[in-house]
Amino acid sequence: MSASYEIRDGIAVITLNNPPVNGLGYDTRRAVVDGLERAQADAAVKAVVITGAGKAFSGGADIREFGSPKATAEPNLLSLIRALELSSKPIVAAIHTVCMGGGLELALGCHYRVTAPGAQIALPEVKIGLVPGAGGTQRLPRVLGLETALNIIVSGEPVKSELLASLPGQKLFDKVIDGDLMAGALAFANEVAAAHAGGKPLPLVRDLKVTHPNPDGFIQFSRNTVKAMSKNFPAPAKCVDAVEMSIKRKFDEGMQGEREIFTSLMFTPECKALRHAFFGERAASKIPDVPDDTPQREIKQVGVIGAGTMGGGISMNFLNAGIPVTILETKQEALDRGVATIRKNYEAQVKKGKLKQDKYEQRMALLKTTLSYGDLKDADLIIEAVFEEMGVKEAVFKQLDEVAKPGAILASNTSTLDVDKIAAFTKRPQDVVGMHFFSPANVMKLLEVVRGKATGKDVLATVMSIGKKIKKTSVVSGVCDGFIGNRMIEQYSRQAGYLLDEGATPQQVDKAVEKFGFAMGPFRMGDLAGNDIGWAIRKRRAQERPGMRYSKTADLLCEMGRYGQKTQAGWYDYQAGKRDAIPSAKVEQMIADYRKEQGIAPRKISDEEIVQRLVFALVNEGAKILEEGIANKASDIDMVYLTGYGFPLHRGGPLCYADTLGLFNVVSAMKRFAANPHDDASFWQPAPLLAKLAAEGKSFS
C-alpha cells in the first residue's frame, strides 16, 4: 500500500503509507492524486486531510527511486502539488514526527497545515548538494519570512514544529494540536469547510508576499556568509540565489528559476560526491550474505581490555550510548590514568556546554574498572585494545577464552594484525571479530569491522548493529595487512616518501594535499599520530616482505628521536603546548643528505603531480582490495576514506574521485609515473581491475 483513502466525519483522509518514512515514490504520488480525484467527485466529502502513517508525515523523495525513471514519472511531485492547489475542496496537511524535503513541499501546497508538537521540519536537499526542487525555496519564505526560511534551506537542519509555530507572523502552521492529531485535524477540516462553504476562495501559499525591510542587504550578507562557510560546495550559495527569486520574481518565474538551479546542480561533481556518500553510508551497513533479518546477540555489558589511547575512547562510545563498560588493565596506575583521561574528555564537553553535568555523572556511573579477568565473565562484548604485538594479543585472547561466557563476542581493535591468527588463539573463532576504531575513538566516525574466516554471521550482524547504536559508520573489511584503510595508506605514505626523495619538502606535500581538500597532509598527520607507530609497523613488514622499496627518510626521522608532536619534533618542529607545524632545517638537511646518498638530483615537483601520485596510490590499492573481495563494494572504500582519513567530502572518496576524472586518465597518469626513474615502476602497475575498467571505459561505481 502506498496511500490509503477513507472517509471520516465527512472528511476524506488520505494517509501516506510507504514505510519507513512515507517517501513520495511513484505509487504514493499516484495514490494521492487518485484520492484527490475521488474526494473531488464525492459530493459528501467536505474537505481532505493528508497525513502519514507510522513514524512520519513524509521524509520526502523516495531515495530508492533515485536515478530511475519512476522518480520523475507523472504525476511527479510538482504536478501533485499543483493538483493540491487546484482542489476546490480545502486540503489540510496533518503533520507529525518527520516532515522533510518533498514532504514539506507537499504540505506547503495544501491550503492549511496543522501539526503535532515535536515534528521535525526540514528542507535537507543542500546536504546532498541540491536545492529543494518542488517549490520549497519559493513557498517557505512566503510562510516563514526571508530570514528564517533561508536559514532552514541553507543549513538543511531540522527545526521543531512548535518552535516555528511560535514565530510572530508565521503562516506555516494554522494550528498546533496537542493530543490526538487526527481528531484535531478532522475538527479543523470541518471548521474550514464550513468557512469556505459559501465559495470563499481557498488560501494558497503562492499568493502570499515575501517581505523584508532590506532584502538586498540581507541577501548580500547571506551570500558572503555562505561563501565563507562552504567554499567547496556550490549548493548553499545556489540556495541563496533561489530564495532571492522568491522576493524578486513572480511566483511562477521563481519556480522556473528554482528548477533551473536544481537541474544544473544535479550534474556537478560535488552533488555526485555528496549523493555517493549519502548512499554509501546506507549501503555500507548491508553485507551481501548477511541478510537484515540475521539473528543478533544481545549486548548489555561491554568489557574493554587496555585503558590506553584507544581503550578509553572506545569505552566512551558505549558509555555515551548508556551501555555499562568494565575496563581491564594490568596495573592500577594504568587504570587510573585511563579513567582520568575519560573524565578530562567529558569535563571538556561539560565546560563547552556540549554535555550536561548530570549526564556526565550518569555516564561515569556506568564505568567500572578491574585488574581481574574474572570480572569480565558477564560481558556480552569484549574489545581488546592492548599493545600491537601478536604475543600480547595471544595472551589476552587465551585468557578471554577461559573467562568469557559462551556466546560473548571477542573483538580486537588491532590496526594491522591478522584477525584469523588472533581467533585461532581461542576455541571459539566464530565469536572473534575485528572492531577497528580510529583515534580519537570517541570522535571519529569510522569503525572497520574485520570479518575473519570463521566469524559468525550473527556476530557480524550484531557488531554492525552496535556500530549504529554508537553512531559509527561501520564498514566491513576482510582480513589483510592493514585492512581497507591502513593497507591503502601504506601506499600513500610510500609515495609521500618518494616525493621527498625527488625534491619536495614535507610542507610542500602537506600544503598541496590540504589544498586538494584533505583535512591534513601526510607529514602533519604522521606527527600527530606519532611517527614511531609507522616505524614499528615498517620493521615488522621489512621482515615479512624483504626487499620492499620505500624511502628511508621516515626511519631516519625516528632514529633522530623525532616522533612527532609528542616529542615536540617530527617532520616539523613544535613549541611546547602548541600544535603549529614549523618547518625544520634539521629535517630538510636529513632529507638532502639522503638524496645525495641515493644519487638523486632534486627537481621541482608540481602540486598537481603531488596530489595525483598520492591519490592514485590510494586508487590503485583500493582497486586491488576490491578485486580481492577485502571490500564488498567500491563505495565501502570511499566511506572508509571519507569518515576515517579526512578525504575531502566534495570529492566523494578516492574511487569516486577517480571515476569523476575518468579511469582511462588515471591509468595514463600512472604510466607516466612509472617511467620516472626515481619512482617505482612496479608500484605503478595498474591493478588488473583498474586496467580492465579503464580499457572498457567503465567506472568503479
Considering only 439, 567, 568, 685, the residue that binds ligand NAI (CB under 6 A) is: 439
370 binds ligand NAI (CB under 6 A): no
Considering only 25, 101, 133, 306, the residue that binds ligand NAI (CB under 6 A) is: 306
Residue of 6, 105, 162, 361 marked catalytic:
105
Closest to ligand NAI by CB, 308 vs 503, is 308
310 binds ligand NAI (CB under 6 A): yes
Q: Please spell the DSSP secondary structure of 187-216, one letter per residue.
A: HHHHHHHHHHTT-PPPP-GGGSPP--SSHH
Considering only 151, 211, 264, 330, the residue that binds ligand NAI (CB under 6 A) is: 330
Q: Which stretch binds ligand NAI (CB under 6 A): 227-235, 379-387, 607-615, 677-685?
A: 379-387
Q: How many CB atoms lie within 10 A of CB 247?
A: 19
**Nearest to 670, CA basis, from 687, 695, 647:** 687
Helix H or strand E segment including 437? strand 432-437
Reply yes or no on whether 608 is catalytic.
Answer: no
Minimum Å gap between C-beta 414 and ligand NAI is 5
User: Which residues make Cβ contacts (< 8 Å) with residue 50, sequence separation at least 6?
Assistant: 14, 15, 16, 32, 91, 92, 93, 94, 106, 107, 110
Closest to ligand NAI by CB, 167 vs 444, is 444
Minimum Å gap between C-beta 424 and ligand NAI is 17
388 binds ligand NAI (CB under 6 A): yes
Residue of 37, 125, 298, 588 marked catalytic:
125
Helix H or strand E segment including 477? strand 473-477
Q: How many CB atoms lie within 10 A of CB 320?
A: 17
- Report residue 228 as a C-alpha cell: 565563507
| Grid cell 576455541 in the structure block, residue | 427
Minimum Å gap between C-beta 583 and ligand NAI is 25
Minimum Å gap between C-beta 416 and ligand NAI is 7
**Nearest to 613, CA basis, from 539, 536, 680, 692:** 680
Q: Is residue 456 within 8 Å of 289, Cβ to Cβ?
A: no
387 binds ligand NAI (CB under 6 A): yes
- Report residue 56 as a C-alpha cell: 512520519
Reply yes or no on whether 125 is catalytic.
Answer: yes
Closest to ligand NAI by CB, 334 vs 587, is 334
Q: Which residue is nearest to ligand NAI (CB)?
A: 308
Q: List binders of ligand NAI among 518-577 (CB under 6 A).
A: 529
Q: How far is CA 146 from CA 67, 113, 120, 206, 214, in A?
A: 32, 20, 20, 14, 10
305 binds ligand NAI (CB under 6 A): yes
Closest to ligand NAI by CB, 190 vs 345, is 345
Per-residue binding string, ligand NAI, 484-523, x by CB under 6 A, is ----------------------------------------
Gyration radius of the chain's alpha carbons: 29
Please state, in angstroms and rounded to a whole number, the distance separating the CA atoms of residues 131 and 232: 16
Minimum Å gap between C-beta 687 and ligand NAI is 26
User: Which residues make Cβ contacts (< 8 Å) with residue 329, sequence separation at least 6?
Assistant: 305, 306, 307, 335, 338, 369, 371
Q: Is residue 363 within 8 Å of 353, Cβ to Cβ?
A: no
Total number of residues that touch ligand NAI (CB under 6 A):
26
Closest to ligand NAI by CB, 192 vs 367, is 367
345 binds ligand NAI (CB under 6 A): no
| Grid cell 585511563 in the structure block, residue | 338
329 binds ligand NAI (CB under 6 A): yes
Please state, in angstroms and rounded to a whole number, the distance separating the CA atoms of residues 666 and 102: 38
Residue 580 DSSP class: -
Please state, in angstroms and rounded to a whole number, the distance separating the CA atoms of residues 244 and 170: 19
Minimum Å gap between C-beta 315 and ligand NAI is 11
Minimum Å gap between C-beta 338 and ligand NAI is 6
Considering only 58, 120, 222, 415, the residue that binds ligand NAI (CB under 6 A) is: 415
Q: Contact positions toward ligand NAI, by CB under 6 A?
A: 305-311, 328-330, 334, 385-388, 392, 395-396, 413-415, 436-439, 529
Active site residues: 105, 125
